[in-house]
Chain A
């Protein structure tokens, strides 16, 4: 099976890889990771010997890119902004621990692990004895609850 023109490969994989990166990194960080993934694929493309397993190949690159991105441990900005986390007030996880004390336990754990410790949802799911999807839902409903509380104050 011959290696297809890169345009074909890109069109076939881009939406799925985008969705994967958004799940792993959140929308903001997924943008740079998306470009990096396909630039890496483009650089490596001439070394491909056949056109089999290209989907798995794309996922492997995207997965490496997102691991690199997560290692940067950039604080997740979206909730930090409106929660007004400030570096001078101590580490994010400590501030979140305080801010989230009224949340139901699972939501609280998911929010602190996600935004305080920057863990991927797969790891949070494992820590909570559930799944990545359940962890994401718990974190986002926790965030919504915090936001409502913030707005009502």
Chain B
């Protein structure tokens, strides 16, 4: 006997404030995005997500009460829609990076200062973080960015201007830079 859909929806909406992490999917030109938030802010955005693997990871990082709850992600969806439609250049969403290590968090923090429509390099980010020889570590930190797009690791490229790589696939990096009007 299957639970009626409206009852399922009602229950999920009633869990606000009782979960460690709420998640849902957001439509985007790059395909459906898995988005998750705690009370403190957005904690995960991923492409091609396997929900069960994401749930496990979120449970380890933030607590076992991980539940799909669309209403809790309304604001996230709104800002992402605005971004993809060119109406928004900077996100106001708070992010929650609690499970992220200090070094990685410092590097990710620098990203928000790379303006919309421009690029920087792994080396420059390393220098700015006081670790000029850590370009590779910066690359790793970008690769493990839990909230791509919102923390814009797509704006980081190689010293020679080549795109190097992207957790969500190079095509998506190209698409995001084009959306922002970067000449490639």
Contact = CB atoms under 8 A, between A and B. Distances in A.
Interface residues of B, number: 23
A88 interface: no
The interface residues of chain B, by DSSP majority, are classed as: mixed
Contact of A7 (B10, B14, B67): B67
Contacts of B56: 5
Contact of B14 (A3, A18, A35, A46): A35
B1 A18 contact: yes
Nearest to A35: B11
Contacts of A38: 11
Interface string B151-172: 0000000000000000000000
Nearest to B69: A7
B3 A15 contact: yes
Contact of B63 (A7, A10, A46): A46
A57 interface: no
Contacts of B63: 46
A7 B63 CA distance: 12
A7 B1 contact: no
Nearest to A38: B11
A14 B3 contact: yes
A7 B18 contact: no
B82 interface: no
B18 A43 contact: yes
Contacts of B14: 35, 39
Contacts of B52: 8
A36 B106 CA distance: 43
A126 interface: no
Interface of A: 3-8, 10, 14-15, 18-19, 22, 31, 34-35, 38-39, 42-43, 45-46, 48
A42 B10 CA distance: 15
A16 to B, nearest CB: 8
Contact of A15 (B1, B15, B68): B1
Given A5-B66, A19-B1, A46-B63, A34 B7 contact: yes
Contacts of B18: 39, 42-43
B3 A18 contact: yes
Given A14-B8, A15-B2, A34-B3, A4 B64 contact: yes
Contacts of A34: 3, 7, 11
Interface centre among B8, B51, B64 (most CB of A within 10 A): B64
A14 B51 CA distance: 18
Contacts of B174: none
